[in-house]
């Protein structure tokens, strides 16, 4: 129906990927335990320091300087940096610094919901600052696009500082797989996030999970070039990426998530209900997808039904991807009403035009990788002002200077 076989979205999760994921997870289990123990020991020893106070922040500068030498016409090489003997160690440190940052920001004990919430004009405590948002969909290792986006965003952040407004940039998951340069892509985005910790946010996509990335390229590349240990470190980090970002603006709230809205389905009766996303007890922080709660799985995997016909279709049905659901407009409306959401921006689906609007233009898919599956894709991103959320701009990445 809506999905196109040519992009391999149908059966993306199947018995084979599930088996690969589970086997990788089992075989890496001792490594995961070792990583956890090392991290716990470091905390006990007082070795983890906050970013900015630590000499470890030099690792961020080092990666930043490294990526500054490249441009869209001079991309990093599949093999470059990796000739350096200490590359793996540096990556491991960068991963750990980024993981500490995620844990501190996303799961503080006072707010154990995997949502980044920032209030703007609505809030009494935070009434003065306007904000400019940028939303980026799947990048999937397409460095030619990331190399254009990051310098552009840096300039926007600087403009925001000069003119006293906030700049928030959300990358809506799927940084890896399907492209040879995906290791570079995730390293560059992590570095960008750490260098501008108040401006940048990386959300988890369905590819940031062991079953998917062990099967679609990233895992094999990391293990072949480096080690199982490094692959385990990446997977252990992915579980700590937030699932959603919600921004309260004067005209309404805007939600970002990778896949789609979740539906709670009673397996015995088949009846469904729509949840309040801020009070649901998530159990999402697992390396392997099948261990996660069904709501978190769906946030990463669901899709809208394109050209939904309420007369002749059920409100939702099992996704042909092999995980999650496709949902129609009633379910979507109920979700938005219950959670007081006006607009949703998400990635996850490939459209040649780089954008697709569904459900009276309120559910917006954005795709940000032009170098994907050998197709000519018009990769795009969104620019939105906090005081005028319905008049967001849609940019073509290639048109950036
Ligand atoms: Mn996806």
Ligand 1 centre to CA of 174 (Å) is: 6
Ligand 1 centre to CA of 100 (Å) is: 25
Ligand 1 centre to CA of 336 (Å) is: 22
Model pLDDT for residues 63-94, shown as the tens digit of each residue: 999 999 999 999 998 887 765 668 998 899 89
Ligand 1 centre to CA of 325 (Å) is: 13
* Confidence (pTM): 0.94
Ligand 1 centre to CA of 206 (Å) is: 5
Ligand 1 centre to CA of 351 (Å) is: 12
The dihedral sign for the CA sequence 321, 322, 323, 324: positive
Ligand 1 centre to CA of 392 (Å) is: 23
Model pLDDT for residues 345-375, shown as the tens digit of each residue: 999 999 999 999 999 999 999 999 999 988 8
Q: Identify any residues that bridge with 194 across adjacent strands, giving them in sequence order.
A: none
Ligand 1 centre to CA of 126 (Å) is: 34
* Residue 377: per-residue pLDDT: 95
Q: Which residue has the higher pLDDT, 105 or 122?
A: 105
Ligand 1 centre to CA of 172 (Å) is: 9
DSSP for residue 388: -
Model pLDDT for residues 270-283, shown as the tens digit of each residue: 899 999 999 899 99
Tell which residue, 139, 246, 225, 231, has the closest CA to residue 189: 139
Domains belonging to the chain, first-starting first, are 5-399 (3.60.21.10)
Ion ligand 1: protein residues whose beta carbon lies under 5 Å: 174, 205-206, 348
Model pLDDT for residues 47-61, shown as the tens digit of each residue: 665 554 555 568 899
Ligand 1 centre to CA of 257 (Å) is: 10
Ligand 1 centre to CA of 285 (Å) is: 18
**Distance between the two ends of the chain, CA-based, in angstroms?**
37
Residue range 238-243: average pLDDT? 95
Ligand 1 centre to CA of 192 (Å) is: 21
Model pLDDT for residues 191-227, shown as the tens digit of each residue: 999 999 999 999 999 999 999 999 999 999 999 999 9
Angle at 304 between CA 296 and CA 332, to 5 degrees: 75
The span from the CA of 142 to the CA of 154, in Å, is 19
* Main-chain dihedrals φ then ψ at residue 322, nearest 5 degrees: 100, 0
Ligand 1 centre to CA of 137 (Å) is: 9
Ligand 1 centre to CA of 289 (Å) is: 14
């Amino acid at each position: 129906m809506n999905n196109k076989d040519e992009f391999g979205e149908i059966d993306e999760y199947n018995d084979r990927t599930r088996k690969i994921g589970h086997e990788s997870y089992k075989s890496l289990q001792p490594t995961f335990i070792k990583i956890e123990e090392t991290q716990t020991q470091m905390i006990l020893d007082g070795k983890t320091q906050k970013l900015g106070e630590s000499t470890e922040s030099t690792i961020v500068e080092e990666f930043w300087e490294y990526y500054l030498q490249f441009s869209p016409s001079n991309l990093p090489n599949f093999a470059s940096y990796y000739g350096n003997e200490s590359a793996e160690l540096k990556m491991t440190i960068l991963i750990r610094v980024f993981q500490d940052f995620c844990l501190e920001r996303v799961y503080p004990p006072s707010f154990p919901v995997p949502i980044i919430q920032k209030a703007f004009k609505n809030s009494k405590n935070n009434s003065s600052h306007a904000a400019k948002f940028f939303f980026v969909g799947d990048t999937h290792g397409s460095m030619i696009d990331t190399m254009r986006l990051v310098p552009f965003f840096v300039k926007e952040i600087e403009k925001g500082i000069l003119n006293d407004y906030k700049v928030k940039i959300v990358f809506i998951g799927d940084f890896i797989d399907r492209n040879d340069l995906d290791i570079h892509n995730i390293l560059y985005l992590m570095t960008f996030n750490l260098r501008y910790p108040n401006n940048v946010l990386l959300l988890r996509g369905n590819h940031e999970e062991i079953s998917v990335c062990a099967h679609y390229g990233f895992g094999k590349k990391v293990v072949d070039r480096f080690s199982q240990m490094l692959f385990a470190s990446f997977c252990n980090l992915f579980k700590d990426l937030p699932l959603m970002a919600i921004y309260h603006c004067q005209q309404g709230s805007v939600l970002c998530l990778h896949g789609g809205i979740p539906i709670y389905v009673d397996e015995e009766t088949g009846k469904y209900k729509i949840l309040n996303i801020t009070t649901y007890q998530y159990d999402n922080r697992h390396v392997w997808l099948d261990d996660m709660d069904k709501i978190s799985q769906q946030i990463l995997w669901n899709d809208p039904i394109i050209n939904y016909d309420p007369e002749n279709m059920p409100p939702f049905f099992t996704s042909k991807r092999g995980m999650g659901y496709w949902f129609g407009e009633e379910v979507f409306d109920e979700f938005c009403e219950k959670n007081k959401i006006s607009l949703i921006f998400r990635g996850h689906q490939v459209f040649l035009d780089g954008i697709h609007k569904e459900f009276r233009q309120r559910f917006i898919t954005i795709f940000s990788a032009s170098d994907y599956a050998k197709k000519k894709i018009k990769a795009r991103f969104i620019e939105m002002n906090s005081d005028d959320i319905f008049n967001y701009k849609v940019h073509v990445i290639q048109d950036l200077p």
